[in-house]
Structure formats: C-alpha cells, structure tokens
Chain A
C-alpha cells in the first residue's frame, strides 16, 4: 500500500494570524502548574575550608536553620556530606540538597583534595545517565541529584587566590556552574576589597577558569545580570543572629566597633548573591547543568565506552545496541558468577554430606562393635551360667546318687540284719527242729 506523506518545506513555516482568542496563551501557566505539583529540585555544593562560614551562609540564604554540627579540623581527607531538605514557599515546593565538603583544606598534603569532589559530581551525572539509558525508565519523577550550582568560598586573605583554589576550580569548571564568593568579607576593608576582587578575577581569567556567566540573552534579565556580574566575586557575610538596628531587627554581626548588616548592600554583597542565585537565575542554573555540563559528561562517557555517532544510516542504534550487548555481557558474567557460587555451594553441601555420612558410618560401626561385645559378654555369661548349672546339676546328681547309696546301704544293712535275723531264727528253728 503506497503511502505518501507530504510535508511542506521549512520555508513554508508561515506565521498565521489569529482572528480571535484561541487560548493557548495559558500554555506557560499549564507548564508551570505541572512543575509546581511535582516540585523543584535544586542542589548546591559548597566548597571551602573548614570554618569559612558555609553552613552559616546557607542558613542566611534560605532564611532557615539547617541542622548541622560544626566540623572538626581532624579529617584525614575530604569527604562530601549531602543533606536534603524540603522547603515550601507559597505554592512552590523546593527539594533542596546542600552538599558540604568536610575537611577541605585541613590536610597537610592537599594534592588529592579535589578528587572526592569531582568524584561526587561525576557520580550524580552517572546516576542520571544510567537512568536515562535504562530500557524501562521513569525520568519524569526522577529525583535529580546533579549539582546545579557550586559556591566556591574564597578565604579573605586580601591578596590573591590560593593555589588550592585555582587547582580545584580548574578541575570543576567543566563539570559544574561555579560561583566564586569571598567569605567572611567583613574582615576586608573597602579599598582592599576592590583590589582583591580584581586580582581574583584576573587570576581566574589568566588561568582559564570558566565560572558561571549570568545569562544576558533575555531582555528581562539581561540588565540585572550584567550589572551584577561586575561585582563578581560576591563578598558575603553570613549571620543568623538578629540585631536591633533603628527600630527593626535585621540579620547582622555585632562587633565592638560597629554592626555589619547582612542585607545592607553597602556592607556586603549578600543581597546580590541571593538575587542572582535564587531569584533570578535558579532556573537557568538548572538548565545549564542539564544541557551543558551533563551533556558534556554524557558525551565523554559514551565516547569512552567506545560509542560513536557514525554516519546516520549505518548504525543509528549502535549506542543502544552496544550498550545492550555490554549489559548482556555483564548479566552473563553475573550469571556465571551465580553458577559458580551455586556450584561451590553444591560442592560444599556434598562435602558436608560426605562428612556426615562418614560420621554416621563410624557411629554405626561403633554401635555394631558395642553390640558384638555385648553379645560376646552375654555369651560368656551364658556359658558360665551353663557351666554353673551343669556343675550344679552334677552336684545334685552326685548328691542324689550319694543319698541313694546311703539309703541303699541302709536298706541293705537293715535287710542284712533282717536276713541275719531270719537266718538266725531259721537256724534256731532248725536247730530247734532238730531237737525233736
């Protein structure tokens, strides 16, 4: 059955004018409503030395108290601690994950400090990639753990970036959106701050570190993003304590020589950071993570695994095919291992069985032996009994015989006496008779 599918060429995409209200202007609202019902994910990674103020800044940014204990300086290596929270503001539910680098900068040898961080970021990308490559997948309710923004806390030395900072940022810039901030900015004087900022920015540029660029392509946000970019890196002060200033309470740090107000733009850039991070560019940070950093990771990973986008008509499914082949290989290996384990198990069972059989045999033997011994003994005893009985019967016989003899003898004696008597009598009688 011949089927012709006509499709107009691209230049025929003409704009059509509507003669009335159709109603699809509600589309952005429909989309937004869907997202609000599902909730948003946002994951922030805080990289900085112990005690530089990461947890306090998070508390200040999100206007809440995240439970955490301050870390010690004794960590043997850098490890990442992730905590998730659910925040709700009006009808927006935010699943916020804050990842902390515990022990960063504490070791004497900091060569490998950046490795756990890179590993963590890669692991999250990998998890997403695995989910995406699955056959039966559910991406629409996948809890996204990929890091959307990395706040890099620079120590307020007033001079320049530390080499640890440069190395770490260089390793992270292709994997995550880096926003450098100067922590504890209330230790730097105003004039020094300006020099410090320009020094940092020039060092970043000369070392080729790509930090996150606030987007300037949409008219609505271009202006504010452009003005804010000038102040990078933001010099922030964090505080959860409130001090009475004028007639209201505001977040501040109280010193003997004055009060540093967190939300005062003259004192620090906290407000700018909050604007940029949350109120203006949160969605863009998420989008960049997905379309740039994740795609780069995916491309590298798949190329590493040996896939290629060859000419489109030869093997378009080479990716999935080879992936499936690998998966089958892996499953085959698993099966083999399972077989091996099963065989080992069977063997063990056999051995044990054999052992037990041996033991049983032994027991039987022993039992037999015992039985035999018992029988022998019994026989012996029986024999003895018989002997005894024989003796007894012999004795009895003898006794009987003896008695008989005795009685016979007695009888014979008495008979003899009687005979004698008779004889005597007879003799007498005869003697007497003779007399006649």
Chain B
C-alpha cells in the first residue's frame, strides 16, 4: 500500500498508517455532514445506558437526590418522615434499573445505592465491597469483549459515575472521605457533593469548598472532571470553571411547593422555602447539568477509554502469571502491583 504525502495535514494526524493526509477543498456541497444525522438516528434507535452510583452515610439524602435528578421515583426507598431505615450491618449494594425516555431518547438508567457505608462504628475497609462491585462490572465487560463470538452490543454495566456525599460539617474532609475518594478516584469518576447544603450559609459554604479543594489537592485525589483528560483548550476552559465549583453544594427535594405562583421543587421550612432549581439557593442545577446535560457522554467515554482500559491492562498482565481464579474483587490499584 503506498501513500503519497503531498502536504502535511492541518489537524491531528492519525496515529498509525498514513504518514500525511492531503487537505482538499470541496468545490461544492457533497453532503458529508449528513453523517451527523445518520449517527444521531442510529444512537437514538439503540438507546443509551447510564450507570450511577451514590455513596454516603445514611441520612444524607442520597435517594432524594437521585429522585430529584431524574424527576421520578427512581429509588424505591420511602423518603418521608416516620420511616425507620434499617441500617445493614455491612455495606450492601443495591441496584435499581429503569428505562426513561425523553423526546425520543431512551435511556437505561441504573442507580446503585450503598446503604451501610460509613455507618458502623468501625468503618475500616468499608470501601472494599464498593471497589469489588466496580471491578466486577469491568470484569464482566472484559469477558464479553474477549469472546470469540461476541455480541453485537456488549451490555454495559460499568459504573460511569460515583457521586460521593460529603456531610456538611463545614470543617474539613474526614479521614473516611479522604480514604474513600483516594481509592475510588483511581478506578471510577468520582463526583463529590456537599449534601444537605441548606445547613451552611453561603460564606460557610465557600470556605468549606476551599478547604475541600485544598484537601483533595494535597492528597493527590483527582475527581471528575480530571485535569489530565481535557482534550482541547475549549474543554479545559469549561472544565476549569467546573473544577472551581467542585464540590457542588446540593439540596435534594421531591416535593413541589408554590413560590410566586409557580410550582417549584423545594424544601419547606419555617424560615423559607429552599428552591432546589434556583442557582442562588443551591448548586443542584450545576450537578444536574454536569451529570446529565453536558458531560454524560464524557463520563461514559472516560470510563471506557481510561478506567476500563487500566483495569484491562492490569488484568491481562496478571493473567499471564497467576492461574486463573474467580475474580477476587480486591483488585484496587493500591493493592495489586502490576507485574511489569
């Protein structure tokens, strides 16, 4: 096969094969841009999958938050008062899957909850079941991928985003928070949020955020959106703005109230109504925009191209040496040294 380089390509050159592409001018309309519509139609037909995990101590409003995010009763836990939640003795993971549709776009949403996290007296290694679960999903995908006859569309159960709820102490991140985020940010996209932010005033909120950001930086924890994966300068600018505001201070609510003649989602208290969707009150809209409206595909892409690939590299390197045993989930990157 010969290539004939005439002039170097103006944009990024492909990694392999052709040394240089020739940039050509079109004399008239060809119709290449119709491929965008074709792609759109195809993806709408196959639908999307999104897997979200919420982690945090009980009572921080995780289920309410998920319901508010997707404006429906995603979580089956009753969230009203008078409900006594049974705190399990160990961390359990519960997944609920729904199909939601909006304007012709179908999405298979799976929300994994982690009751029991951080609720014991001794919380050592309470992140292990979570890490094991995440790795199990990667393992499942990997096994499907290396089959000889594989499915046309491999079912994707990998966790695309893990929302971590930080209790609104107003001081610093607790050791549990740091440990968890440190371990998990290496295998999944972690989005930290300050839960029940209506207990903090705006100044307290700003200070708390600053301290959290400093803490994260000091411990080398990179949460989503990670700086290393900014593709181009536009993305970088956009993501820098988001990184400034991480962690979002959110309030969840699934009841509607009357405010100024409009029905809004909010929490009614004696001293006022906190409107969930009002950017002046809380940063819920920012979280929703990040997770759903603007960065959902990005979350999936980073999970697939970065986290899944690192898992794969690690797994394939060790399957050389070790006899194959059923996956022991403790394959967090900390624990197992790569055999390289």
Stretch at the interface among B144-152, B173-181, B215-223: B144-152
The A interface is mostly helix, strand or loop, or mixed, namely mixed
Range for the number of chain A residues in contact with chain B = 35 or more
Contacts of A62 in B (CB 8 A): 26, 30
Range for the number of chain B residues in contact with chain A = 35 or more
A8 near B24: Cβ-Cβ < 8 Å:
no
Question: B123-180: which residues lie under 8 A (CB-CB) from chain A?
Answer: 125, 128-129, 132-133, 143, 146-150, 152
B105 near A22: Cβ-Cβ < 8 Å:
no
Given contacts A61-B30, A143-B14, A3 and B91 within 8 Å (CB-CB): yes
When chains A and B are docked, how far (Å) is the Cα of A141 from the Cα of B319? 26
* CB nearest neighbor in A for B39: A283
Tell me if A40 is interfacial: C-beta within 8 Å of chain B. Answer: yes
A63 near B15: Cβ-Cβ < 8 Å:
no
B146 near A82: Cβ-Cβ < 8 Å:
no
In the complex, which of the residues A143, A279, A308 contacts B16, with contact meaning CB atoms closer than 8 Å?
A143
* CB nearest neighbor in B for A141: B15
* CB nearest neighbor in A for B133: A5
A1 near B102: Cβ-Cβ < 8 Å:
no
Mask: chain A, 117-144; 1 = CB below 8 Å from B; 0 = not = 0001001000100010001111111110
In the complex, which of the residues B21, B71, B99 contacts A95, with contact meaning CB atoms closer than 8 Å?
B21
In the assembled complex, the CB of B50 is this many whole angstroms from the nearest CB of chain A, namely: 8
Tell me if B10 is interfacial: C-beta within 8 Å of chain A. Answer: yes
When chains A and B are docked, how far (Å) is the Cα of A339 from the Cα of B69? 63
In the assembled complex, the CB of B20 is this many whole angstroms from the nearest CB of chain A, namely: 8
In the complex, which of the residues B30, B232, B316 contacts A320, with contact meaning CB atoms closer than 8 Å?
B316
B320 near A17: Cβ-Cβ < 8 Å:
no
B101 near A15: Cβ-Cβ < 8 Å:
yes
B48 near A24: Cβ-Cβ < 8 Å:
yes
- Can you offer 7 A-B residue contacts whose CB atoms are under 8 A? A13-B99, A16-B73, A19-B71, A23-B288, A82-B1, A284-B38, A319-B148
Please report B residues at the A interface, Cβ cutoff 8 Å: 1-4, 6, 9-12, 14-18, 20-36, 38-45, 48, 50, 69-74, 90-105, 107-109, 125, 128-129, 132-133, 143, 146-150, 152, 231-232, 265, 288-289, 292-298, 301, 304-305, 309, 312-313, 316-317, 319-320, 324
* Top 5 closest pairs, chain A to chain B, by CB: A143-B14, A283-B38, A30-B297, A25-B103, A279-B31
Other A-B pairs, 20, CB within 8 Å; known A5-B95, A62-B26, A86-B22: A4-B93, A13-B99, A18-B72, A24-B293, A25-B103, A27-B43, A28-B44, A30-B295, A30-B296, A31-B297, A82-B2, A86-B10, A86-B21, A140-B301, A145-B17, A280-B38, A283-B35, A316-B143, A320-B316, A321-B320
